[in-house]
């Protein structure tokens, strides 16, 4: 059974650019959630999607957005990148929003 | 004050020792999760609890809803248990996870 797949694994971007990260959940899982991990702030919830609907959003600026497709795959987008956006971005999938399986993450470096 | 507090922040143990990591929370929750993160970033979900106690191999997790407290125990610790252990809670009826700051565990051979 394939796990949660995040692409790309590593990314280097320049300040002001935008970036799109992808998450493919476990087959049959309809909930996908996104998290940001930094050394200073730890793990923080970004947003959660279920059947293409965003059900909850964390305290992040509007530059952070996401969406979920009909096949449950999800993307998150960060526009106008700032140095502070450098982080490990993790997604997790779940069949019912509890009991999460995490991906390996995308490590984003903004220079 | 953080909504989810973990202790200790760092823990060093000798192989074979019994280890306890504590988690206290101050909000209404629908579930509590224990996660393990190895260097390199991958996170593994160890337990999801809403009451009582769960056991998986050498790992035991307990939760006391009235006291808003959970513990993760590792029996007969091994160097491969070295990792960061993170407590997280699902808030009430939302789908939002709130995380503790993690406990960095090092088990020496």
- Tens-digit pLDDT profile for residues A46-103: 999 999 999 999 999 999 999 999 999 999 999 999 999 999 999 999 887 568 899 9
The predicted structure's pLDDT at residue B35 = 96
Does residue A8 have a cis bond before it (omega within 30 degrees)? yes
Neighbours of B19 (CB within 10 A): 19
Closest Cα to residue A69, out of A22, A5, A3? A22
The predicted structure's pLDDT at residue B95 = 78
pLDDT band at B39 (very low <50, low <70, confident <90, very high): confident
Angle CA A94–A96–A98, to nearest 5 = 65
CB B16 within 8 A of CB B80: no
Following DSSP, what letter does each residue of B16-68 receive, concatenated? Answer: T--EEEEEEE-S-EEEEEEEEE-TTS-EEEEEEESSEEEEETTEEEEEETTTT
Q: Inter-chain contact A90–B99, Cβ cutoff 8 Å?
A: no
Residue of A nearest to B87 (CA): A43
Taking the CA of residue A5 and the nearest CA in chain B, the distance in Å comes to: 12
The predicted structure's pLDDT at residue B1 = 65
Q: Inter-chain contact B96–A48, Cβ cutoff 8 Å?
A: yes
Interface of B with A in 15-54 (CB under 8 A): 30-31, 33, 35, 40-45, 48
Contacts of A93 (CB under 8 A, 6+ apart): A4, A23, A25, A26, A29, A31, A32, A33, A72, A100, A101
The predicted structure's pLDDT at residue A1 = 61
CA distance A46 to A98: 16
Q: Inter-chain contact A100–B33, Cβ cutoff 8 Å?
A: yes
The predicted structure's pLDDT at residue B93 = 72
pLDDT band at B91 (very low <50, low <70, confident <90, very high): confident
The predicted structure's pLDDT at residue A97 = 58
The predicted structure's pLDDT at residue A95 = 82
């Amino acid at each position: 059974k394939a796990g949660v797949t995040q692409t790309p694994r590593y990314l280097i971007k320049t300040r002001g650019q935008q970036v799109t990260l992808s998450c493919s959940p476990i087959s049959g899982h309809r909930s996908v959630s996104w998290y940001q991990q930094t050394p200073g702030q730890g793990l923080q919830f970004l947003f959660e999607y279920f059947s293409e609907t965003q059900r909850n959003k964390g305290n992040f600026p509007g530059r952070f957005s996401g969406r979920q497709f009909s096949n449950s795959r999800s993307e998150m987008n960060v526009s106008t990148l700032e140095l502070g956006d450098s982080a490990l971005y993790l997604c997790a999938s779940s069949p019912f929003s509890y009991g999460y399986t995490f991906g390996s993450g995308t490590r984003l470096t903004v220079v | 004050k953080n909504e989810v507090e973990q202790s200790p922040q760092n823990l060093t143990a000798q192989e074979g020792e019994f280890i306890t990591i504590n988690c206290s929370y101050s909000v209404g929750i629908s579930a509590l999760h224990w996660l393990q993160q190895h260097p390199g970033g991958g996170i593994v979900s160890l337990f999801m609890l809403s009451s009582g106690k769960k056991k998986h191999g050498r790992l035991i997790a307990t939760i006391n809803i009235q006291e808003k407290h959970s513990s993760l125990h590792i029996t007969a610790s091994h160097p491969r248990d070295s990792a960061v252990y993170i407590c997280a809670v699902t808030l009430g009826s939302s789908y939002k996870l709130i995380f503790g700051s993690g406990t960095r565990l090092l088990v020496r051979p």
